[in-house]
Chains A and B, each alone.
Chain A
């Protein structure tokens, strides 16, 4: 599209979808579609995002902080990789206006600061550390490229139905721990648009955590300590697993490893593959024993999956009888399972309050897919290859027409994006806002209660 063509299109009303040729299958994303996506009020859910990030401070209660939303940092990445940081908006409509004038390729959400990010230079002169993050969700980022050493179907940016289940298992393990161990209640899982998932923990307690506390939670979740320089990337010491790891193993990891993973990855079926696993056993004799069994078996009648399962059983039996030989063998079986299945989070993303993370409902520029929420209680049903793309949304507008409004009374809404927005509202936003309002109310009552006392001499 040339500049002139783009500009002439801008003259047309943004509310009518222009007549565009049917997109080629690979062309899921382009700038024009993006403009429509942000241009129409019924696609990108501006007011839901605003409500979420206001956490109940809507100005309707005397205890509200009307400047709260305005102290949140956003960043925009524009078409030519131009990066705009420290953007802030005093309300939903100025956020909308800014997005509609820039049409960013990516929108990131940062922390809530002590003062307006926009005006930080005005304040930083009056003393040390006046411009500083005050609140920020506890966030996690899981990217399937960090599993490249244990998936054989894809590598790099690709993802398919064989390796996506690694993300599903990761969601289950982390989500269970966040709710059961840490007691968090307001958790949003979002598809990153291509090959991973993000997690936003929005409880007030979580938002006020210090960097040190965030780091502690990230380390609690960390098990895999590997790169190409070490062979044994998961080292489980001690005589048993910590209850969190034990529960994850029993409830999710073991079953996944012995079932779906064998079917999709067949991790024992070739010499290259099984040598990698043998290298995790820190005893040469056991390695040789198993190698001997596997090298010489010429069973071409069995499927890859069946061969893998047989070899896994052999490995387990051998280790079971020999595990007392050395402390490093005690939990070798579990170590192998953890290496292949346990979540690998990006620690740096979680550790610092000022780290920016992509906003939900953005569109991924390389795939055109919308970053939609994932239901952690039904994550087995989530298919990253079935997520609506920008071109599909535009198609839908062109063909379906007017019924794109997602309003609360419409239970029969079936638009592509509507389902996701409804889910966002009903399972995340509404319970969150309810609890935020309760908190604002009770802390307000406490405050006026206190000041009443101070007046009585």
Chain B
């Protein structure tokens, strides 16, 4: 891709006969004006940020389809179809440069581009979808005749297991190695036999999304290499400043450095837990005090949260030690648990400073036997959740609103409503991170307490 100052742009050769969604398999051979370089990227970034927001708020797939449609029309549309197509391609490749430069940036970009692709794909009709599958060059054959007959009964069972009362088997199924459709396997949405998954036409999206993600992931590594070896230096007066500015503007705070509100000390921790912790962390905290123990998932979720609220390493060690030694003794604590606490603070091993988990991650976790982590709005039974909310001080009227959100699987909205009920104020941004809940809560409480007399 050539970036030049003000020459007229020549259209790419591949606008002629392609499917509506480009696969970004090769860098476009076209000239781009410098102003467009930045503008196109910013517009696409608005789309990706919108996707990120939607996911954080727990939107279901259909809602995401609509959201993507709206976002795309708002930011990426152009009356000229070939211009729109070129903008799509150029903006993607520019953002690759921006987001290839660190693991965290890569991960975010990969997730958002994959989600964007997934929902754009879902919005296409079946023919267009099949064309895209073809573009990937995937060698999957449709299952027909006697083989299909032999599978019909079990395929019907799969359909019924997914909530459809009549076992109507689709007309077209593809026989695909199970490795190519991990999300369909994980959710038991396909029949698997002798290493092959039988994917319905309507499930094609899974197939292509896996391919898409894998391709982009590899591409980002190559782009990073090119960036660090040649491009960054060569473009230091032209593109590099633009690229560097683009990445810092759109990621939300990650709470790895705590802010001015957030220093807490060990002596206040019980009181602060009661007044400002979100339900998930309150539950974990109470369990630690009660059982003098937490399993690994809980230690991670609560431990990193406490780091985010400003608990220093020494205080953290003191806190966990005080509780755990009541059950396992001081020597075992030092041997088995102190190391991983220090690890969380970036003082051991590869010394990554781990960031506290956002709601999206917590909601998707899988607490098992003996665990207390996860999101109570999702993982608790209704009775247990009501009891917990009661302990937080919710009235039965406030609770109904929350339970309603839970039933509709809007777990973060449920938490937001809880916040609003507890503090008597509205929270328009919506809760998407436990540390955000804490900070907002502290802001409100501090503004209510009168300043200490001099």
- Which residues on A are within 8 Å of B, measured CB to CB? 81, 127-129, 146, 148-149, 180-184, 205, 209-210, 212-213, 215-217, 219-220, 222, 224-232, 237-246, 344, 347
Contact = CB atoms under 8 A, between A and B. Distances in A.
**Chain A to chain B: the 6 pairs with minimum beta-carbon distance, closest first:** A183-B195, A216-B182, A219-B186, A183-B194, A240-B160, A238-B161
A188 B372 CA distance: 33
A245 B195 CA distance: 17
A215 B187 CA distance: 11
Nearest to A347: B366
Contacts of B154: 243
A325 B312 CA distance: 54
Contacts of B29: none
B193 A181 contact: yes
Given A216-B186, A227-B372, 14 more contacts: A128-B224, A181-B194, A183-B193, A209-B179, A213-B182, A220-B186, A226-B369, A227-B370, A229-B379, A239-B163, A240-B160, A241-B161, A246-B157, A344-B368
11 contacts: A180-B193, A216-B182, A224-B368, A227-B371, A227-B372, A228-B370, A229-B380, A230-B379, A242-B157, A344-B369, A347-B368
Given A229-B381, A238-B162, A240-B160, A182 B178 contact: yes
A213 B185 CA distance: 9
B368 A219 contact: no
A230 B164 contact: no
Interface string B178-190: 1100110111100
B9 interface: no
B219 to A, nearest CB: 15
Contact of B369 (A129, A149, A209): A149
Nearest to A331: B161
A205 B183 contact: no
Given A181-B192, A183-B194, A216-B183, A229 B376 contact: yes
B208 interface: no
A266 to B, nearest CB: 22
Residue of A146, A183, A226, A227 with highest tally of chain B CB at under 10 A? A227
A182 B30 CA distance: 46
Given A183-B195, A226-B368, A215 B182 contact: yes
Contacts of A128: 221, 224
B417 interface: no
Nearest to B178: A182
Nearest to B151: A243
A225 B379 CA distance: 9
Interface size range of chain B in the complex: 35 or more
A29 to B, nearest CB: 20
Given A181-B193, A205-B195, A229-B380, A242 B188 contact: yes
Contact of A220 (B163, B188, B225): B188
A219 B369 contact: no
A239 B179 contact: no
A181 B224 CA distance: 39
Contacts of B179: 205, 209-210, 213
B381 A227 contact: no
A349 to B, nearest CB: 12
Residue of A184, A210, A213, A231 with highest tally of chain B CB at under 10 A? A213
B187 A219 contact: yes
A367 to B, nearest CB: 20
A241 B157 contact: yes
B226 to A, nearest CB: 13
Given A149-B369, A220-B188, A226-B369, A243 B157 contact: yes
Contacts of B221: 128-129
A161 to B, nearest CB: 23
Residue of A148, A232, A244 with highest tally of chain B CB at under 10 A? A244
B201 interface: no
A215 B365 CA distance: 13
Residue of B163, B186, B376, B380 with highest tally of chain A CB at under 10 A? B186
A186 to B, nearest CB: 13
A111 to B, nearest CB: 17
A127 B229 CA distance: 11
B338 interface: no
B272 interface: no
A134 B224 CA distance: 22
Contacts of B422: none
B11 interface: no
B192 A238 contact: no
A443 B160 CA distance: 43
B368 A244 contact: no
A307 B187 CA distance: 38
Nearest to A149: B369
B58 interface: no
Contacts of B162: 238
A239 B164 contact: yes
Given A243-B158, A246-B157, A231 B383 contact: yes
Nearest to B195: A183
Contacts of A184: 195
Contacts of A344: 368-369
Residue of B154, B187, B369 with highest tally of chain A CB at under 10 A? B369
B191 interface: yes
A120 to B, nearest CB: 12
Interface string B207-238: 00000000000000100110000000000000
